[in-house]
Amino acid sequence: MIRRDSPSPLATAVVDDIWIGAARAVGFEVTRSDHCYASSDGDGRILIGLPEILDVDDCVAQLVFHELCHALVEGQDRRALPDWGLPLTDGDVRREHACLRVQAQLAGEYGLRELMAPTTEYRAYYQTLPKDLVRGDESDPASGIAAMTLTAEAISGARWISTLRQALAATAANVSGAGSAPRHPLGFAMGAAGETCGTCAWLYVGGRGRPVERCRQASENEGDATAAARTSRAFAACEKWEPPVDCETCGACCREAYHVVSVSMRDPVVWRQPDMIVRRGYRFEMLRTDDRCAALEVDRSCSRSQTPPADHSGTSPPETRYRCRIYQDRPTTCRDFAAGGHHCLHARRRVGLSR
């Protein structure tokens, strides 16, 4: 990430309009001024310097984005104050750094982190930020402010985050040579449009110490539920996104994913469903048929109520449904198996339902 000696690739009328529109969507008008570099006047206007005031690698998109990130960090109560309530000199460096962290986090999701870098003296700090900002940095007070900002925005409805992400996506699509394709903060390619980590089957809250939002798809050790990487429900969806698991259309754990389901001799299923139990020496197992649990019922005649008919015949294509015919008496192993858990993801991968 170096300073450019030529105009930014973002300095186009199309990209200018994207960010002027983004500012308008959250209640601000962008005005060019010969009295400032970049500022807010406390009266609903973001002021951006005229071209002759700006450095050669400055542009409207980059500066408006930075100001909107400041507004996001400072919150609703300070958005009606000049310069978001920050003093023009000797300001709170932590909050400036928090703004840059939010800026880098969001821009990085769309491959725009370098092009959206600040050109002020804060560029040096921006350059030192790690690629993985999700994990945070307890040694940097700005990290906590940035994390709280993104979390609070997600809880409040994500209007600002959604607007900024739409503008970033449009910018990436309109800029030639903007860098690599947009990537999710966890390194995956971007996925389903309009979805977020918050709607994904593989988001969970947990880990060692204080529970935080994590992604099962980004686990370094699939068998360790605490090892998954931290994420945020506000992040745009990645290529691994899936809707919440529907056990009746999945059935992976009862099919070929596992070859044996061990049962304790004290498990009620042993005497409630004796025909379903196989004894192997001192061990008990669930009976299997064709490498599937014998209790699994497969129905391929169900209709997909929300799927348009492929042949326009007025009937939906069939959908396979899986049900357990001894569900009320199922063994403890099955009762403890959590839909959306790391064993669930492992099972779905083994039968080809998840990547």
pLDDT computed for residue 312 by the predictor:
34
Q: What is the pLDDT of residue 308?
A: 36
pLDDT at residue 36, as a whole number: 80
Q: What confidence tier does 152 reach under pLDDT thresholds 50, 70, 90?
A: low
The torsion of the CA quartet 194, 84, 171, 198, rounded to 10 degrees, works out to -20
Number of alpha helices (DSSP H) and beta strands (DSSP E) in the chain:
10, 13
Residue 313, pLDDT score: 34
Domain residue limits, the chain: 13-174, 184-244, 247-350
Please, what's the largest Cα pairwise distance for the chain? 87
Confidence of residue 302 (pLDDT cuts 50, 70, 90): low
Give tens-digit pLDDT for 65-80. 999 998 888 888 888 8
How many angstroms separate the Cα of 249 from the Cα of each of 9, 78, 341? 47, 49, 16
Could you give the count of Cα atoms lying within 13 Å of 244 in the half-sphere of its Cβ?
5
**217, 240 Cβ separation under 8 angstroms:** yes
Tell me the C-alpha to C-alpha distance, in Å, between residue 117 and each of 8, 21, 132, 172: 11, 20, 16, 15
Structure tokens at 121: 């003296």
Candidates 161, 175, 173; CA nearest to 72 is 161
Which of 233-242, 261-270, 297-306 has the highest average model confidence (pLDDT)?
261-270
Task: Give the integer Cα–Cα distance in Å for 245 and 26.
Answer: 35
Q: Answer whether residue 333 shows pLDDT above 90.
A: yes
C-beta separation of 297 from 323 below 8 A: yes
Residue 317: the pLDDT is 46
- Whether 99 has a pLDDT exceeding 80, the answer reads yes
Among 39, 29, 92, CA closest to 63: 39
Count of CB atoms situated within 10 Å of the CB of 335: 11
Residues 46-57: what's their mean pLDDT? 84
The DSSP symbol for 260 reads: -
**In this predicted structure, what is the pLDDT of residue 1?**
40
Q: What is the pLDDT of residues 100-148, one digit of tens each?
A: 888 888 888 788 888 888 877 888 888 888 776 655 666 777 777 776 7
The predicted model scores a pTM of 0.53
When pLDDT is cut at 50, 70 and 90, the band that residue 340 belongs to is: very high
Angle between helices 159-174 and 141-155 (to 10 degrees): 100
Q: In this predicted structure, what is the pLDDT of residue 309? A: 36
Residue % of the chain over a pLDDT of 90: 30
Beta-ladder partners of 230 = 214
Kind and range of the H or E element at 308? Answer: none
pLDDT for residue 271 is more than 80? yes
